[in-house]
Structure 1
């Protein structure tokens, strides 16, 4: 069980190293809301009938953790309509507000207000099955394509090699002839028209 201890709105990127809720996981934030909560494990109805509108009463209870950070999900961000930060801040930023919550055993200062294990398991299965399935299909396609390719016929190989060799020889002869002509032309020009400077 969580109770909101304090909340504050901050401005400036240096003051917003974290935000309880941010719409858009990649954008820079210059305005953020910090919602601090206290939580207690295994309350067994301990808070029934307790009115925390008197903030001094919050400090009289022995909490398992004080000043934890509240997030809507593990990433602390999302996109509408699944995560609406305006509604989230309105619902959970009032000091004294009590609500069920989930804390992290790895990072005890991290608290989320909602946890849907079935959705998380489904997303995880999709994240594993779809990429691996596409990978296997592409490998099978490549294997079938490779096995189905015909080998070149041996009869035409000799003929093709002879044609390729002739074409290569003619191309090299042409290159050598054109280079020789260019050199001869340059030499003739130098011999007939000497430069004024000698």
Structure 2
């Protein structure tokens, strides 16, 4: 697995504001979208393109456009939805699928409870969105699910990660039949004894959308 931590002053600034417990939900959502757009520039370095001829106002020119099949963006519900707008702002022609996964807070194992994806992902590049990589089980399960349907190139975009999560993800994806890249805005110190990232930024889903009672 290829690990990329994006080091840029604007990325660091926006991540710092996201961490602040005083940041309200509307601001948190907006900054998440902005931060993901910045991360997406790095994440899409290997996006597939083909040559394309155009006519400028002055002369013919040859450029590139996204190849077919189009990239597939897959937010992991629910927190990954907060990253979707920032990703599609950069690649608006991408297709979007959804994957619902939940982590058992006792076993820390991830299970799939919903999905809206093509049955055949052969030849597809997939971009998986999940704000936080904690224990690594949920993200690994999502990647394995996509590769199982034929995806041949996976890029995961997370805001922050814990070292334990990266180690576990690397272990679980060892021997994966497709290349996988992990793009982060920040690498945090550790997991606490209940599997939360420290210093982290709290529960990303709750901070994006509030706590449903």
Shorter-chain TM band: under 0.3
Structure with higher Rg: it is 1
Question: Relative contact order, CA 8 A, sep 6+: which one is greater?
Answer: 2
Superposition TM-score, scaled by structure 2 size: 0.18
